[in-house]
Amino acid sequence: MIERVVLQEKLRVPEVSGLARARLEGPLLSGSQTNVDLVVAPAGCGKTTLLSHVATASTRPVGWYRITSDDSTESRMVAHLAAALAAVTDTDGAGSMADLLAALDRRTSVGGVLILDDVHEIADTPAERALEQFISLRPRGLQLICGSRRMPDFNISRIRVSGSISETGSDDLRFRSWEVEELFASVYREPLRPEAAAALTRRTGGWAAGLQLFHLATVGRTAVERHQAVAGLGGRSKLVRSYLTRNVLAELPADRREFLLRTCTLGRLSGTACDALLGITGSHRILEDLESAQLFTFTDDGGVYFRYHEVLQSHLELALVEQYGPAAARECYRKSAGVLESLGETRSAARAFAKAGDWASVSRLVQDTGGPRIDATALDDAHLLPASTWQHDPWLALAHARRLIREGALTRAVEAYRHARTLYDEPNYQQMCREEAAVASAWLSAEHTRRAPGSGTLAHHWSGPLRQALVRSPDGAGGHRCMDAREQLTCGLAAIAAGELRAARGLLESIDGTVPAEGPVDVLAAVGADLALAALDLLDGAAADPSARFSTIAVAAENEGLPWVARLCHGLEQVSLVVSRDALWRLESCSDIIDAAERVGDRWGAGLLLFAAGLAKNRVGQDGSGELDSANTIFGELGAPVLQLWCRLVATAQRATEPEIRELLATGQSLRSRGAQAVALGLLASTRSGPEVTEAARVAEACGIPLLSRGAADAPRGAIATATEVVEASLPPVAITCFGEYRIAIDGEVVGLNQLRPQARWVLQILSAAPGHDHHRELLEDILWPGVDHTVACHRLQVAVSSVRTMFGQADLVIGRRGESYRLELGERSTVDVRDFTDALARAAAASARGDLHGRMSARHEAMNLYTGELLPEISGSSYLDAERDRLQRTAAAAAAALAADHRSLGEFEQALVMAQRSVQLEPYQDTAWVVLAELHESLGDHSSAELVRREHARMQADLEPSHM
């Protein structure tokens, strides 16, 4: 009897708490009903919080089951599954999984969502095997979402091939810095400054439990105290350490805990390094097992190198000292450094030597490597390179100066190079310090940039051409390909400065192709290109919400020892949130990051962020002239007249007079900035008519800059096109959706129809399904008011039509009448998905007649993208609409089956599988898709799934037979 006891607490959805994160919840809420959604991550990553938000927000019935370790038998699993499914459908008593599946199979339809949390609790048990059977044979309309600390021991690869699985991992669950800000501001009610939120995100790795534990440890403290506490989080928090000990390390055998403790000294882990350090073999397999079990171990390169989560790393480093004592811990680091150095891992070796306090070895490594290889990447924290070490050692002084360069503190870096030269008179060392200091100095003022191009140290440095491009744009900026990745980056950034955005995008996107196959990736070039491309997307509106991308690039920059790039990313992240979400309060956060850049001495970062903030304020209707003027001042001090010109153009776009515009145009011509000239010409065109209009459009098109101003009539709108206005210009005046749900959008804005009575809405919907076609009034009356006298129904129809006409009093959408019939009349460029669906299939038929395989596949894909659900689902009980719904659904099923056959003929089995499954879902009683589906499973070597498909097909045929008797 105990096996059949169902604990109701396991079936209760947890109380919703924490931050709602649409980027994670959206895909799960909108996922296909046939999907298996896996949320797999280590303890404390926010899996249950996410699943509870999904359960609460879902519009479909939801069943919840939190699995515990005592559910390891099939009977207990089945008992709780059946009880959880009661929220979705009626279930009979079942003693086995086969009984439960049979009971579900007897239901005519089963739809909804079943959420299973803590699936890892039944790993390697009969219950897990029974659950795998349930996943394979469950009703097709049931979406299944599983949360687990490890990947379940199912045939995941088969499910992946079928295209019916989505996976949310620990990296997805990591909180981005802006989400940390929102969490502390809106949930914990204790806001953090942006730089503190960024630091907290970095130290916790965005780990949800770490953030909550930090909040608990600092609740009630002042803002200053909480900001100071950020630096002390990591593994040093007692709450965090207790959590890791109880929920992560306690689950491991002693030898695994010892492995983690001993290898944490390596930093970046490889099987070879761990074997050499521990004197064992098989370390690579251990690392793979730790990563597979989601024990805070990650790989970013497919399993060559591994790393421990930031919080676990800090915890292990402290535990090492506690267990072995400070002297023995330092010896462990020294031994690790020796192993890493022998394997050529000089940066990791330098960090380990620094942890050991062996500054002589760090100095030797810096000296041996010669170039700037031992710098911020290895010694990025102040405690790793304290002043007492670099004040008297020349090589550590050189490393300190390089670290300041990567911080963006150029003035302090030049002083550090000067100090380093006083410590060592060796000529080569002196020359190295002079050259690196000269490059930093060239970016500090205009003095070095006034020299003739090609002279001075900067002429031989990769950044030299970019520095010159900020003084005066080169001829044909971005018009040629460069040799290596950094030169390519320089050309791309120079093209952006010149306003030649199309050429810049092409250069930046091709940077991956400049890396030799046998050589290492140039991290600075890769991160710089990603950041520049994200900024271009923000400028032209190519990405709906680029904030997450900036956050990802910031993490990469921090990991690679590029703190000034990370700070710039965090600032642009705030700017993107201002633009994409109209969140003006983010401007204050951006100001805090600008202040932080100024405090460090990062003048370039401060100027660029001020320019971005001013541009963002203008875009959302605010006055950004203050920020733009400040950026103009900074760029003037730094000797960057090209950037000054852009500040002036943007600042004066709304209020410039003709003399001011002509001055800006002349400046653009003297600086050879084609993009700036195009904008100035557009501004001029907004104040007067003439040939400038045509010239502005021609140059803007060549540069990839969209301009609003095409003549005097456009003057009030300004000269620089926002992404929103560019998109709006291409939107259809009226766009109607009839599949899945009825929706009507006018100029991109969805119209609310709640003010219309139901019958008036239904008149509009019926006419929308066949625009331009006559609908006799008696047909409409029979659909909407069946059995009502036609005299009464006719009056009701007239009232309904009148209310619709009143609501849409415009030429692009009109209900016309001809005799006894009504029709919907739409303006040019208006779209209706039903009409477009039919047109796409007609094009597919024409392409098929010509023998154009790819043409018909493209048209059918377009049709399937349009068919998002049944026709006008709001209206029920009409035989006329039911017949039309069935016809369109059968047509879509046939198109999907034909697409599956075409994909199969091209050897594209996964795409064919997706289309065959969709065809079967749309029309289960057709044969073609079932046959193709079974053959595809056979082609992929999945014979059991093929057999399952054939049995299901036979069952469908058997169900169909009585209807023909």
Please count the structural domains in the chain. 5
Co-location of 160 and 25 in the same domain: yes
pLDDT of residue 945: 66
| Size of the chain in residues | 965
Dist. CA 415–CA 397, nearest whole Å: 11
Residue 823 maps to which CATH number?
1.10.10.10
pLDDT tens for residues 657-693? 777 777 887 787 777 787 887 787 777 766 654 454 5
Co-location of 959 and 838 in the same domain: yes
Q: Where are the beta strands (DSSP E) in 512-562?
A: none
Residue 28 maps to which CATH number?
3.40.50.300
Last residue in a domain, options 775, 801, 829: 829
Co-location of 164 and 45 in the same domain: yes
- Coil vs helix vs strand at 545: coil
Q: What are phi and psi of 306, to 5 degrees?
A: -130, 165
DSSP single-letter state for residue 297:
E
Residue with structure tokens 């070490």?
A: 389
Co-location of 850 and 824 in the same domain: no
Dist. CA 388–CA 397, nearest whole Å: 10
Dist. CA 128–CA 266, nearest whole Å: 37
pLDDT of residue 383: 52
DSSP single-letter state for residue 852:
-
Q: What are phi and psi of 20, to 5 degrees?
A: -75, 125
User: Is residue 459 situated within a structural domain?
Assistant: no
User: Is residue 431 situated within a structural domain?
Assistant: no
Dist. CA 865–CA 299, nearest whole Å: 36
Dist. CA 219–CA 243, nearest whole Å: 18
Last residue in a domain, options 243, 260, 295: 243
Co-location of 152 and 196 in the same domain: no
Task: Write out the DSSP string of 792-837.
Answer: HHHHHHHHHHHHHHHH--BTTEEEEEETTEEEEEE-TT-EEHHHHH
Q: pTM of the predicted model, to two decimals? A: 0.60
Co-location of 814 and 871 in the same domain: no
Give the H or E element holding residue 642.
Answer: helix 641-652
**293 contacts 355 by C-beta, under 8 angstroms:** no
Q: Name which of 52, 60, 104, 58 is nearest 78 in CA terms.
A: 104
Dist. CA 661–CA 15, nearest whole Å: 60
Paired strand residues for 775: 822
Give the H or E element holding residue 737.
Answer: strand 734-737
Domain housing 917: 834-964
User: Is residue 921 situated within a structural domain?
Assistant: yes
Co-location of 707 and 770 in the same domain: no
pLDDT of residue 728: 41
User: Is residue 234 situated within a structural domain?
Assistant: yes
Angle (nearest 5°) at CA 909 between 908 and 912: 90
Q: Is 882 exposed, middle or buried (0-12, 13-18, 19+ CB in 10 A)?
A: middle
User: Is residue 388 situated within a structural domain?
Assistant: no
Query: Long-range contacts for 914-917 (Cβ within 8 Å, ≥24 apart)?
Result: 914/163, 915/864, 917/34, 917/162, 917/163, 917/164
CA distances from 773 to 546, 815, 835, 841 (A): 43, 11, 11, 19
pLDDT tens for residues 619-629? 877 888 889 99
**444 contacts 412 by C-beta, under 8 angstroms:** no
Q: Name which of 626, 621, 888 is nearest 770 in CA terms.
A: 888
- Sheet with 112-117, strands from edge to edge, namely 62-66, 112-117, 142-148, 36-40, 165-168
User: Is residue 897 situated within a structural domain?
Assistant: yes
End-to-end CA distance of the chain: 47
Angle (nearest 5°) at CA 816 between 812 and 822: 130
**89 contacts 60 by C-beta, under 8 angstroms:** no
Q: Name which of 73, 83, 134 is nearest 105 in CA terms.
A: 134
pLDDT of residue 726: 33
Last residue in a domain, options 132, 149, 173: 173
**930 contacts 951 by C-beta, under 8 angstroms:** no
Co-location of 7 and 86 in the same domain: yes
Co-location of 201 and 109 in the same domain: no
Co-location of 77 and 224 in the same domain: no
CA distances from 580 to 575, 625, 957 (A): 9, 20, 52
**644 contacts 470 by C-beta, under 8 angstroms:** no
Q: Name which of 332, 376, 342, 334 is nearest 359 in CA terms.
A: 334
Q: Given 3-state DSSP classes, what are the helix, strand and coil percentages for the chain, each rounded to the nearest 5?
A: 65, 5, 30
Co-location of 906 and 953 in the same domain: yes
pLDDT of residue 54: 93
Give the H or E element holding residue 308.
Answer: strand 307-308
Listed in sequence order, the residues at least 6 apart from 792 whose beta carbon sits closer than 8 Å to its beta carbon are: 785
User: Is residue 636 situated within a structural domain?
Assistant: no
Residue 881 maps to which CATH number?
1.25.40.10
Averaged over successive runs of 10 residues, the pLDDT of the chain (965 residues) comes to 74 89 87 79 90 92 93 90 84 77 79 90 90 85 89 66 73 86 87 81 82 82 78 63 79 89 92 94 92 80 84 86 89 93 87 86 79 48 64 85 89 90 86 88 67 49 86 61 75 88 84 49 82 86 71 82 89 85 74 88 94 87 87 89 90 74 78 78 63 53 50 34 37 81 78 85 90 89 86 89 82 82 86 90 92 86 84 87 90 89 79 79 76 74 69 68 46
User: Is residue 102 situated within a structural domain?
Assistant: yes
Dist. CA 802–CA 796, nearest whole Å: 10
Dist. CA 642–CA 640, nearest whole Å: 6
**615 contacts 577 by C-beta, under 8 angstroms:** no
Token couple for 50: 């996410």
Co-location of 38 and 167 in the same domain: yes
Q: What sign has the CA pseudo-torsion 884, 885, 891, 894?
A: negative
Dist. CA 283–CA 261, nearest whole Å: 14
